[in-house]
Amino acid sequence: MRDVVRGVVIGLVVLALLGAIASRAGWIETSLPRPEGTGPWLLSRATGITAFLALSLDVILGLVMSTRAGDRWFTRATTIDLHGWLSPVALVLILVHAVVLLADRYIAFDVVDLVVPFASPFRATAVGLGVIAAYLALVVHASFALRKRIGTKTWRRLHVLSFAAFITAAVHAIAAGTDAARPWFVAVYATPLVIVIALVVRRAHGLRVSHALRPR
C-alpha cells in the first residue's frame, strides 16, 4: 500500500512539474484557482515556522543522543522514537508550507518556483535555499530506510546533511520571511541555533577527549 501511495504522489508531482514547465514555455495555458485574501500566505508562514521547529527539534534530539546529554531525563528508546517521528512530520509540514503558496494571489508561485532552486520570482536566493533545505531533509529521511543497503558508514555521512538542512532552512526563513525583524521571530530561530551550537561544541569536545584517551 505504501508503494502505491508513494507512486501516486510521485506521479502527481511529476505531472504538476511538467504542466508548470509547459505553461512557462507557452505550450499550454493554465490558471490555478487562488482565493482572495491573505489566508494562504498566513498558513504558509505558520507551517513554515512549525516545520523549522520540527526540523530543529529533530536535529537537537540527534545531538542529544550522540552526546548523551538527555540521558538523565529521557530513556534512549524514547529519544530514538521521537527523533524518528519528527523526521516525517517535518517533511509533511515542509510540503504543506510549499503547496499552500500555490494558492497565494500576491506572488502567484507555480510548481517550478517551488521545486527548482532559485527559479522563484520572489526573493529567488532566499526561496531557493528553502528548496535546497527541503531536498536535504528528504535525503536524510530517505537514508533511514536505506541504512542497511548503504551501510552505517555511508549513512552517517549522509546524516550530517541534517545540519546543512537546518542551517539552510534558518537562512531561508530569515531572508525570505516577512517577520524577520520581529522579536518573537528572532527568538524562535535564535533559540534552536544556540542549542545546536552548544551541543555541537559538546560533541566536538567529547570526541577530542575520547581520541586523547585512546591507546596509541
- Encode pLDDT of 52-109 as tens digits: 999 999 888 888 877 776 666 767 677 777 877 888 888 888 888 988 888 887 877 8
| Of 62, 67, 61, the residue nearest 201 (C-alpha) | 67
69's CB contacts (< 8 A; 6+ apart) are: 63, 199, 202
Residue 158: enclosing H or E segment and its boundaries?
helix 152-159
CA 44 to chain centre: 14
| Of 58, 59, 79, the residue nearest 68 (C-alpha) | 79
pLDDT digits (tens, 9 = 90+) for 34-54: 667 678 888 888 999 999 999
Q: What's the rounded Cα separation, in Å, for the pair 48 and 31?
A: 25
1 pLDDT higher than 50: no
Q: What's the rounded Cα separation, in Å, for the pair 88 and 2?
A: 14
